[in-house]
Structure 1
């Protein structure tokens, strides 16, 4: 080992200064933010229709993609941008590809469906997801779903257990609507507008009574939506969902994190779901002083929980190496030069030694 290290030893004329390191880190974070903001828009053909999908990151990553699915009344941007653009979330974003799926006709600016259009059921929407994975050539994903999206990803995971490495479910309700719920919904449809029905689904009574800024924003956004007809169809499809019939014998095979605000309208449903899952692979996060959409109102807490969840799946080593030191050194010209020489000569063992024993000695014990 000593001889090998002598062969590739690098004498630095000018070590990377603190100021340079900070500048390099800022440059990396800026590049990641630009890539995240832009994304790549795709139209994916599936056996049951077309899906509008946004990809952030590389399609060649060996790690699972983070696949998201939004709630009723939202699209992928309005549901997940505040979370995945949150500063602390960039530690994850820089290491995983993001795939944001919009339910049929729910993306911003989508044309309205014609009268009599048969909108797909929740089960059918779940059956459309494998085509998305095939389109982007991803074998496995980590699912993140909210509300209706949590139900869709649950259905997909139960049908395709080998395709999902982990599942984060926010405001999950695995049960079908009962007769009392159905009657209440019928009454609400007569006395309340579609927008108000959806707001009651998304937010807590405290948030609605206080008419918070986030409630006002989404009320105006839904009212002005050009695809309001499509939103109503998705809403009806979700209300017509079937019971997932989860129990300890019929449950998810992957790690699951359930998330709900302590004031959320689906708090009881999330608690009930937690009682049906395997306690050895399930974590339950009830967020204090949180309303219906914690990914919008408390992104810091959810980001921290998500990091622990990802690390628990075995990806913590990637974070500690790449994020803490990796990018800073790669940006240094001396290191880049040595990388090129080693790759050209195909001295893989030397490259490994350079990384592990010279620049990342803190991980030698692993």
Structure 2
């Protein structure tokens, strides 16, 4: 579908049922909805859920399979802008509310959406979310990665922990092949740059007897992170806010 900030590739699976929310997914950098969610949604344990809920997969601009290369000078949407397109996407499909399921960059986008449009989000499953703006050490590391043309390595380090990278060579090899050969490298670089320029979400947890108007998620949210994930510290930190 076409929005003010560009064309979005969306895939609807199933038919929305009455007033029941739809599962809305958003992928991480280096991935798209297929490489991020196909294994999960094709698993036998998910089939019963799929009988009761329709699913809307959203690909960030230029990240879908077979995407055309953006023209030179194209200004990629910011993370805030990507979040602000979601109400238009819901309206396009006639959806009133969603249960969000997202990873990494997508988790940031859906959390921002739920903060700004609480009536549209009935629940969130946020995997490996980093709600913080990029620190100067991360900025410097990504600059160096850019100089050495090591974007696939940087993305692998974002997706997997050191132990996984060192021990699970087959898995890492499959993801590296996908990043290098299936993703449009120019478009991917723009998405990565947008994610690395994200702002702090400034989420707070309400305290009994404290300030009422804190910026917090109004819907139930399940935070998911592996114990060896590179995002474990920030996810645990978000959970104790």
Partner of 2:210: none
Aligned-pair Cα RMSD in Å = 1.2
The one of 178, 187, 190 aligned to 2:147: 190
Partner of 1:105: 62
1:226 positional shift:
5.5
Partner of 1:166: 123
d(CA) in 2 for partners of 1:214, 1:95: 32
1:47 positional shift:
2.5
Q: Which runs of 5+ in 1 are unaligned?
A: 1-43, 277-366
Does the CA contact (< 8 Å) of 1:189 and 1:197 recur in 2?
no
Matched, 1:268 2:225: no
1:228 positional shift:
1.1
Change (3 A) 1:195 1:264: same
TM-score normalised by structure 1 residue count: 0.62
**Highest Rg: 1 or 2?**
1
d(CA) in 1 for partners of 2:75, 2:162: 33
d(CA) in 1 for partners of 2:36, 2:116: 25
d(CA) in 2 for partners of 1:133, 1:247: 27
Partner of 1:253: 218
1:60 positional shift:
4.6
1:187 positional shift:
2.1
Matched, 1:230 2:187: yes
Give structure 1 regions of 4+ aligned residues with deviation exceeding 3 angstroms.
none
Does the CA contact (< 8 Å) of 1:66 and 1:96 recur in 2?
yes
The one of 85, 90, 109 aligned to 1:133: 90
Does the CA contact (< 8 Å) of 1:139 and 1:163 recur in 2?
yes
How many residue pairs get matched? 233
What per-residue deviation string (whole Å, max 9, x for no partner) do you get for residues 149-190 of structure 1?
000001111110000000110000000011122112222333
Does the CA contact (< 8 Å) of 2:63 and 2:183 recur in 1?
no
The one of 161, 172, 182 aligned to 1:204: 161
The one of 43, 46, 50 aligned to 2:7: 50
Does the CA contact (< 8 Å) of 1:59 and 1:137 recur in 2?
no
Change (3 A) 1:85 1:226: closer
Does the CA contact (< 8 Å) of 1:167 and 1:256 recur in 2?
yes
d(CA) in 2 for partners of 1:132, 1:60: 18
Does the CA contact (< 8 Å) of 2:31 and 2:183 recur in 1?
no
1:192 positional shift:
5.2
Does the CA contact (< 8 Å) of 2:107 and 2:126 recur in 1?
yes
Q: Higher relative contact order by CA 8 Å / sep ≥ 6: 1 or 2? A: 2
The one of 71, 84, 92 aligned to 1:114: 71
Summarize the alignment of residues 34-113 of structure 1 with structure 2, pairs less than 5 Å apart.
44-113=1-70
d(CA) in 2 for partners of 1:118, 1:99: 26
The one of 109, 114, 137 aligned to 1:152: 109
Does the CA contact (< 8 Å) of 1:112 and 1:226 recur in 2?
no
Does the CA contact (< 8 Å) of 1:61 and 1:97 recur in 2?
no
d(CA) in 2 for partners of 1:84, 1:267: 24
d(CA) in 1 for partners of 2:20, 2:143: 45
Change (3 A) 1:196 1:87: same
Change (3 A) 1:257 1:226: closer
Does the CA contact (< 8 Å) of 1:126 and 1:152 recur in 2?
yes
d(CA) in 2 for partners of 1:139, 1:234: 28
